[in-house]
Structure 1
Amino acid sequence: MAVAVTSDSGKIGIIAGGGQFPLLFIEAARAAGRQVYVVAHRSETDQVVAEAADRSCWVKLGQLGKIISFFREHGVQETVFLGTITKTRIFRDVLPDLKGLTLWNKIDSRQDDAILRAVAAELEREQITVLESTLFLKHLLFPKGVLTRKKPNHGQRRDIEFGWRHARAIGELDIGQCVVVRDCSVMAVEAIEGTDATILRGGALAKEQAVVVKLRKPGQDFRFDLPATGVGTIDTMRQVQAAVLAVEAGQSLLFDRDRMIAAADAAGIIVVGVEERPDGSLDY
């Protein structure tokens, strides 16, 4: 659901994880005339992201009170969640402050969406509105259609449809966003380890010709944790001789499109953006 920009202060906050998304957002926000205030996570966020901001502060995972204090100090009333957090860190690197610990103890489920929704709700109770992560960057949404020179054959289309149903099912359970299949058999299901590890595990079992299907979770909030792919995804697939990457069009992010497609073509990997019609059939 779209969230309208409500502030006229010209300031916007970023709660930043790893990857290039925060830096791309800073550039786009500046072009839109916004001042950018970054909360950077230690061991996750690139130093260049913090340096590119008008102001920044570094936090450890769980320091919610510090985030709120930083935004209050600088009059920031809007923020976005951008970038990746290594999910396994919740078992070893969390150092919550009192605010973070209080919230953590209230969360019944430690799944992605439950945690992020709880943090967003707490921010909004503090009059800090959480906006869509694609604000200023709609052009990064994955397009529909075959992006590479090669197209999926009949068997690969069957695998995409098979994988789509299973990826949708694990998404409904808030387990993950990606499955790896071959010959209508599930090779791997994404959980806390992330997409790249899932591709390596599933691709090793498939031996070759694996089909990777990555979808947005049903009802997923556009404010955070959208599926994302890029050159790194293709590099991982190449290591296990995977054949096809099928991604939900308009519901996920595509970084470095030209480089990604060139890498896929060089590796003979098919990349396709897929839409689900109202009747459940797939269109690409």
Structure 2
Amino acid sequence: MSAKTAIIAGAGRLPATLAAALDQPLICALEGFAPEGLAVDMTFRVERLMPFLRALEDAGVDRVVFAGAVSRPRLDPALFDAATAQMVPRLLAAMQAGDDATLREVIALFAEAGFAIAGVADLAPDLVPGPGVLAGQPTAADQRDAARAEAIVAALGAVDVGQGAVVAQGLCLAVEALPGTDAMLDWVAVTARRPDPTGAKGVFYKAPKPGQDRRIDLPALGLATVHRAHAAGLAGIAFEAGGVILLDRAEMQAEAARLGLFLWARDPQADPQARA
């Protein structure tokens, strides 16, 4: 008997994209973070987490996958049931330790309730490209900028800040923080200047945080990312192979080719001449 899967959905298009790859998943959304283009079967609040977990069990769910964007909800102490209230010290301690700690605690709570935790890459591997160049071709200068950006993103991730950076001619033009990728690329488009206007245009690089549990909160890129990278005057987009979700892979490849950008699922151990 195949596993019955529940998508624990947040905002954005990823839950609908993932649901299309699965066989009739149960769609569950945190209140206030409804997914785009997808009907929700069950809505829940953190303050009522234990009743929600029991409802999943009653529905025959034995596997969950997290997909979509959420931010920390404001908790209402009056809404806690007795069982969920006992989890509050664990949740608060995790929240104070940062986003990664919070996500690890969420995974632990679902696992302790008896659910297998799957990642997007486990259930829909086509959404998470392996190594190779998907469009265009990074130059030697682009490859150096991508390597520099990779080191910066690793340092950012180690302190739980962001998952992206823009590097041109070896210099960091911007890093991703709380406002997110779109805000960073928009800022580069109107503000950042290269030391040599005729030199390398720069690379946007995206990757998971070091040590991140890849079953939850993988970074995602979409067609709008290609448009924003082009508006920022960049040569292309590089991202960690096997670590980033592409929401519109075919469309991104076609648009990057049309705009003259490269898309590179980067493996530091792989030859960038390989095609994906």
TM-score between the two structures when normalised by the length of structure 2 = 0.83
Q: 1:245 aligns with which of 237, 245, 252?
A: 237
Shift of the 25–173 alpha-carbon distance from structure 1 to 2, 3 Å rule, reads same
Corresponding residue number in structure 2 for 1:3: none
Q: Tell me the SS of whatever aligns to 1:13.
A: strand
2:112 equivalent to 1:125: yes
Alpha-carbon separation, structure 2, partners of 1:66 and 1:269:
48
Deviation at 1:207, TM superposition (A): 4.1
Q: Tell me the SS of whatever aligns to 1:134.
A: helix
2:211 equivalent to 1:219: yes
Corresponding residue number in structure 2 for 1:82: 67
Shift of the 283–216 alpha-carbon distance from structure 1 to 2, 3 Å rule, reads farther
Corresponding residue number in structure 1 for 2:49: 64
Alpha-carbon separation, structure 2, partners of 1:106 and 1:154:
45
2:176 equivalent to 1:202: no
Alpha-carbon separation, structure 1, partners of 2:134 and 2:142:
15
Alpha-carbon separation, structure 2, partners of 1:161 and 1:107:
32
Corresponding residue number in structure 2 for 1:4: none
Percentage identity across paired residues of the two chains: 29
Structure 2: runs of 5 or more not aligned: 195-200
Shift of the 47–258 alpha-carbon distance from structure 1 to 2, 3 Å rule, reads closer
Higher relative contact order (CA 8 A, sep 6+): 2
Q: 2:176 aligns with which of 187, 190, 200?
A: 190
2:266 equivalent to 1:274: yes
Shift of the 46–183 alpha-carbon distance from structure 1 to 2, 3 Å rule, reads same
Shift of the 228–283 alpha-carbon distance from structure 1 to 2, 3 Å rule, reads farther
Shift of the 254–183 alpha-carbon distance from structure 1 to 2, 3 Å rule, reads same
Worse overlay, 115-124 or 66-75: 66-75
Matched-pair contact (CA < 8 Å) for 1:207–1:241: no
Matched-pair contact (CA < 8 Å) for 1:12–1:79: yes
Corresponding residue number in structure 2 for 1:171: 157
Deviation at 1:62, TM superposition (A): 5.9
Worse overlay, 268-277 or 105-114: 105-114
Deviations 1:7-32 (A, max 9, x none): x46421110012332223223221xx
Worse overlay, 203-212 or 173-182: 203-212
Deviation at 1:108, TM superposition (A): 5.5
Provide the aligned C-alpha RMSD in A: 2.4
Q: Tell me the SS of whatever aligns to 1:162.
A: helix
**1:5-154 alignment to 2 at 5 Å?**
8=1, 10-30=3-23, 35-46=24-35, 48-50=37-39, 56-60=41-45, 63-85=48-70, 87=71, 90=72, 93-95=73-75, 97-98=79-80, 99=84, 102=88, 103-107=90-94, 109-149=96-136, 151-154=137-140
Alpha-carbon separation, structure 1, partners of 2:130 and 2:222:
13
Alpha-carbon separation, structure 2, partners of 1:142 and 1:62:
36
Worse overlay, 205-214 or 156-165: 205-214
AA aligned to 2:30 is H
AA aligned to 1:19 is G
Matched-pair contact (CA < 8 Å) for 1:187–1:205: no
AA aligned to 1:79 is V
What is the total number of aligned residue pairs between the two structures? 259
Deviation at 1:257, TM superposition (A): 1.4
Corresponding residue number in structure 1 for 2:143: 157
Deviations 1:122-146 (A, max 9, x none): 1122222222222321122223222
Structure 1: runs of 5 or more not aligned: 1-7
Alpha-carbon separation, structure 2, partners of 1:15 and 1:223:
12
AA aligned to 1:73 is D
